[in-house]
Amino acid sequence: MRISVIGCGYLGAVHAAAMADLGHEVIAVDVDAAKVDALAQGKPPFFEPGLPEILSSSLASGRLRFTTDISEVAGASLHFIAVGTPQSENSGAADLRFVHAVIDALIPHLGSADVIVGKSTVPVGTAEALSHRLLAAGSSATLAWNPEFLREGFAIKDTLSPDRLVFGFGEGPGALQARSALRDVYSQAIASGTPVVETDLATAELVKTAANAFLATKISFINAMSEIAEVTGANVTELADAIGYDARIGRKFLNAGVGFGGGCLPKDIRAFSARAQELGLGSSVAFLDEVDAINLRQRERVIARVIADAGGDAAGLRVAVLGLAFKPHSDDVRDSPALDVAQGLLAAGADVVAYDPQAHGPALLRLPKLNLADTLEQVLVGADIAVLVTEWPEFVALDPRVAGDLMAHKRIVDARNVLDADTWRAAGFHYSSLGRP
Ligand code: NAD
């Protein structure tokens, strides 16, 4: 099929490359010329495992092109919208201006039988409003919604073999055609058994918001338990193991630690809360405000713990911060707990040096004063205390004897609860984590 993908960020660049890999002819559009240039040369402007390979092979096949010129979408009949929907500057609501701009820019280039497919995460009701916008502009193109569930770090696999596909359709005459276009474009995943949920536009939008709200709630739930465990002497990891054996609960997303971040969960729960208030339903999801508050509190807890474990005075304290990305296998520092911890320690007067295997560039854009080390060993040299804030495999595998030889004092705060406490203590470390004695 001939398709376009508009917006080439963490979602759109992967989607474009993966669709070309599946055999579709893809024109990918972004307003950021530097991003388009880099992608056109096969060099992703962000880190995503496997993306360079699939990008190069798709470009070489001639099935994938990048452009800043929206008029080039004219040859395609299916248009995926993958632009950002960040948090508004003045409130928790989603800023939809990029989505609106894309619809307006697309309209002059749409054929009457074209299908627009929203993939961006949007507040419920957005798709219906966009359909009206199309109609008002005299376009007979059809709008469908196909929310994206990819996880950064696993984005290629999640795009090529999703665990489910959700298609939302409106009531207009184009719905059948949109359904057939979506079934064609994802025919390989569907043939290999991926479940498909076909529904209305509002449900498709809500599925994504609800999924992220649920995941965020699960993480904040276990972090709330870790606060209780800490005061009562209980062990939150053993608690999570025990409740996780209950199939109704499940063990995934029950790791206590510094909490969630990134370009999705935090802004999506805030946008959900803001949208519910607009609908007069604020109390229905008021718990999400508490989920957010618990999550942000973890960052403060970790900062306070580092200072307390090092003797109570942050001034001049040499802190090694292990990790800056919001999660391993990504360079994304949007709303990153790790970056907030580094910033908080800096603000408290500590001498912070950080190391992340991938996120130095994006971190410096947000925190230009941050000192960075080139290697894991280097960040530890002379440190009074280390804090593990992103669970990169190389940090989890760190040998405490090696770390101990490099550091000025053997102290570590494991803010992801991923290190073996006994091993670290046996190597002479003052080891602490969240919610574990
Ligand atoms: P991003 O900021 O990395 O990318 C957005 C891109 O859109 C940018 O490259 C920007 O230049 C481009 N853009 C903005 N306005 C444009 C326009 N008018 N025309 C063309 N391009 C334009 O964001 P992202 O992480 O890729 O997220 C995009 C959407 O996907 C968001 O709604 C997000 O919530 C959702 N989502 C993201 C993920 C993820 O893991 N990143 C997963 C699922 C859903």
- Residue 422 exposed, middle or buried by CB count within 10 Å (0-12, 13-18, 19+): exposed
Closest ligand 1 atom to 8 CA: 9
| Pocket (CB within 6 angstroms of ligand 1) | 6-12, 29-32, 35, 82-85, 98, 101-102, 105, 120-121, 148, 150, 152, 263-264
**Residue 172 binned pLDDT confidence (cut-offs 50, 70, 90):** confident
pLDDT tens digits for range 299-350: 999 999 999 999 999 999 999 999 999 999 999 999 999 999 999 999 999 9
**Spatial distance between the Cα atoms of 150 and 156, rounded to a whole number of angstroms:** 8
pTM (two decimals)? 0.96
CA 33 – ligand 1 centroid, Å? 15
Which of 264, 294, 415, 434 is catalytic? The answer is 264
User: Average pLDDT of 155-165?
Assistant: 98
pLDDT of residue 32: 98
Closest ligand 1 atom to 121 CA: 32
pLDDT tens digits for range 231-277: 999 999 999 999 999 999 999 999 999 999 999 999 999 999 999 99
**Residue 143 binned pLDDT confidence (cut-offs 50, 70, 90):** very high
DSSP 99-123: HHHHHHHHGGG--TT-EEEE-S---
pLDDT of residue 437: 86
pLDDT tens digits for range 362-413: 999 999 999 999 999 999 999 999 999 999 999 999 999 999 999 999 999 9
CA 242 – ligand 1 centroid, Å? 38
DSSP annotation of 86: P
pLDDT of residue 135: 94
pLDDT of residue 48: 98
pLDDT of residue 173: 87
Computed over every residue of the chain, the mean pLDDT equals: 97
pLDDT of residue 402: 98
Crossing angle, helix 51-61 and helix 12-21, to 10 degrees? 50
Asked if 141 and 174 touch (Cβ cutoff 8 Å), the reply is yes
